[in-house]
């Protein structure tokens, strides 16, 4: 799995277009059910709004599940522009709801397309991001004489140190990118003259790292 960016947490932005308020709320969503729950929560929060236009992408790349709705706006003027901005952002596992309070002046087809697209762009501009990556959790057992060097190797290979256990030898529990394990093991082998290798104890396809 190739790493991809996801929302780190919820965010909200608001724009005004000819007296209409467009409030874009974004959140991480790892399933269609989570996306729908978030959409319903926004509807409940802004009960008196004119429209709640949702768009979401679950997954990333060729395996993505995409959805949008115009929620009563003219066909193709709201949900599709919002979803197009999400597709262009490169962000996955994201749901956005654009809440509109009608300001009394019709915006026309082009105006609506721009407004909904701009609302999504506004919230993406302030959205904190994380990265979804495939990782291995590994165990490395080294003698005390190699502990500091092994620890430095882990840091050099962007491995997160989860635990250190000091007994007859030192046992390091590390988390690192799956793609980085071969080079890490090669470096360990060189350091220990072939005596030490990282042993995989758990693998995950959806570890979240802050950016």
1: pLDDT strictly greater than 70: no
Identify whether residues 41 and 96 lie together within a single domain: yes
Predicted TM-score of the model (pTM)? 0.82
Q: What is the mean pLDDT of residues 165-180?
A: 95
Number of independent structural domains in the chain? 2
Domain finish residue from 127, 161, 184 = 127
Identify whether residues 56 and 100 lie together within a single domain: yes
Identify whether residues 30 and 111 lie together within a single domain: yes
205: pLDDT strictly greater than 80: yes
Helix (H) or strand (E) holding 116: helix 108-126
Residue 182 to residues 107, 147, 159, Cα–Cα distance (Å): 57, 20, 13
Range of the structural domain that residue 205 is part of: 133-210
Domain finish residue from 112, 127, 142 = 127
Q: Looking at residue 182, which CATH number applies to its domain?
A: 3.30.70.240
Q: Compute the distance between CA of residue 14 and CA of residue 103 in angstroms, rounded to an integer.
A: 14
Per-residue pLDDT of 8-35, as tens digits, reads 999 999 999 999 999 999 999 999 999 9
156: pLDDT strictly greater than 90: yes
Per-residue pLDDT of 77-117, as tens digits, reads 999 999 999 999 999 999 999 999 998 889 999 999 999 99
Q: Looking at residue 59, which CATH number applies to its domain?
A: 3.30.230.30
């Amino acid at each position: 799995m190739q790493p991809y960016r996801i929302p780190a947490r919820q965010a909200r932005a608001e724009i005004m277009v000819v007296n209409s308020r467009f409030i874009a709320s974004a959140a991480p969503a790892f399933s269609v059910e989570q996306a729908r729950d978030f959409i319903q929560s926004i509807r409940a929060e802004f009960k008196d709004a004119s429209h709640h236009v949702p768009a979401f992408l679950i997954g990333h790349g060729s395996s993505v599940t995409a959805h949008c709705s115009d929620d009563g706006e003219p066909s193709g003027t709201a949900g599709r522009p919002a979803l197009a901005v999400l597709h262009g952002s490169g962000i996955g596992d994201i749901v956005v709801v654009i809440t509109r309070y009608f300001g009394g002046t019709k915006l026309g087809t082009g105006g609506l397309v721009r407004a909904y697209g701009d609302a999504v762009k506004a919230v993406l501009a302030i959205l904190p991001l994380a990265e979804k990556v495939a990782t291995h959790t590994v165990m490395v057992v080294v003698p005390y004489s190699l502990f500091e060097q092994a620890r430095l190797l882990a840091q050099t290979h962007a491995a997160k140190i989860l635990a250190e256990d000091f007994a007859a030898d030192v046992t390091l529990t590390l988390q690192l990118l799956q793609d980085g394990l071969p080079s890490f093991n090669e470096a360990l082998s060189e350091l220990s003259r072939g005596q030490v290798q990282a042993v995989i104890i758990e693998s995950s396809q959806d570890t979240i790292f802050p950016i």
